[in-house]
Amino acid sequence: KRPAPVTFLTHAMSSQWNVRPSDCAMRTMNPIRALVDMMDLRPNPDLPLIRLSIGDPTVFGNLLPPAQATLALVEEAVTYKSNGYAPSTGYAHARRAIAEKFSHANAPLTEQDIVIASGCSGALELCIAVLANPGDNLLLPAPGFSLYQTIAQSRNIECKHYALQQDRSWEVDIADLESKIDEKTRAIVVTNPSNPCGSVFSKEHILDILAVAKKHCIPIIADEIYADMVFKSQEFHALAPLSPDVPVLSCGGLAKRYVVPGWRLGWIAIHDRHGIFGEAIRDGLTRLSQIVLGANSVVQAAVPRILKDTPQSYYDGLMSILETNAKRCYEILKTAPGLKPVMPQGAMYMLVGIEILNFPEFSDDRVFTEKLINEQSVFCLPAQVFQAPNFFRIVTTLPEGETVEAMNRIVAFCKKHYKPSA
């Protein structure tokens, strides 16, 4: 293939306005926004709109941050001590507090191992940017959170998806994962607990994933923003402590567990017990962090108190609400003809399968959810944006009244449109 001929513009020729967005800007795409913008959304004016679409626990006002978090923020603000530039990787005392909170006997952390970023999103961006070049690839879960792909595409990094298994509580299909690895794979992204699945991996399952990573020498980016957000019968296992050798960048943040996504406080915990990441990756993360200087300094200063002072009862209360809600949704949706809700084990989401052949009016999850909003004023996200076609995702953070009302409307909608198989 020969290179395209080069055209030399003369000054005279170029002197017209010719301002175009960069390729990077055009590649950068939030698939949720892109799809929602394309949808024909006209909620039924006779019914109040209920949005089950947004992964923001604050929007309904029923879930509040711990009082300790707001208090810490306010008290740090009025000391006037933390209004200045923090180091690009974050204040040392904030990093120390995060290291202490997430340190584990098998995976110890010091403040040197923490990089504070603008939300877990910022942390993920740093991790992806430091590990992969254009043309390299990342392995992403399907269904999975769409931001990984947004970041990767923006940087011309390829995405390959490995399957999670619906009938096995969304565990990874290990053979599929392994088959997707090639010589350009730079990291495996593991989301646990999962958005959009609400799944929580067992220790054994995490060990199986780690075995693949170890065998093929691929580092893991563990998105653990929902760490510890698991239902009563479940246990959360952080990924890094289960491996003595796989290098892991674990991403977390305050957004979900402390119900403050707007505060934009996230972090990376670097687990690298055998120096595989080494100074080079740490240095790369530091360099990348210098461009924008992540997180708000007052929030950073409040982090030690937020992590230490929030009482266990707060965490328990939040999870109890989320679990009660999830069960409520599951029980009602189970009665809807043509739906297959998958009961979550944690986080704040549920995926609901649509037996699309039994809804002959609707070609896919997009059309299904479009009609659902237009008839019933209930907005669920079509899960094709999470690589889960013919599912929709609901959030389980709404107050009981709205939740039950929304579920009943979904059932009514299904009853109306369901056609039994011939």
**Footprint on this chain of ligand PLP (rule: CB under 6 A):** 55, 119-121, 145, 191, 195, 223, 225, 253, 255, 261, 266
Whichever of 246 and 336 has its CB closer to a copy of itself, that residue is 246
Say which entry of ligand PLP, a copy of itself, none residue 195 contacts (CB below 5 to 8 A, set by partner kind).
ligand PLP
Q: Does 58 bind a copy of itself (CB under 8 A)?
A: yes
CB of 368 to a copy of itself, least distance (A): 25
Interatomic CA distance for residues 380 and 287, integer angstroms: 40
Interatomic CA distance for residues 241 and 158, integer angstroms: 29
Find the binding residues for a copy of itself in span 109-148 (CB under 8 A). Answer: 118-119, 121-122, 125, 129-133, 147
Amino acid 156 reads N
Whichever of 77 and 412 has its CB closer to a copy of itself, that residue is 77
Alpha helices in 9-53 (DSSP H): 11-14, 23-27, 31-38
Say which entry of ligand PLP, a copy of itself, none residue 421 contacts (CB below 5 to 8 A, set by partner kind).
none
Site stretch for a copy of itself (CB under 8 A), options 108-116, 259-267, 375-383, 405-413: 259-267
CB of 255 to a copy of itself, least distance (A): 8
Q: Does 59 bind a copy of itself (CB under 8 A)?
A: yes
Using CB under 8 A, count the residues that bind a copy of itself: 88
> 185 pairs with which residues across the strands?
137
Q: Does 77 bind a copy of itself (CB under 8 A)?
A: yes
Contact 388, 141 (CB under 8 A): no
Q: How many residues does the chain have?
A: 422
Q: Is 186 in a helix, a strand, or coil? A: strand
Whichever of 120 and 332 has its CB closer to ligand PLP, that residue is 120
Q: Does 385 bind a copy of itself (CB under 8 A)?
A: no
Binder among 80, 232, 312, 422 for a copy of itself (CB under 8 A): 80
Token readout for 95 is 């990093």
Contact 383, 196 (CB under 8 A): yes
Interatomic CA distance for residues 188 and 206, integer angstroms: 13
The residues, ordered by sequence, that sit 6+ positions from 35 with a Cβ below 8 Å of its Cβ are 366, 382, 384, 385
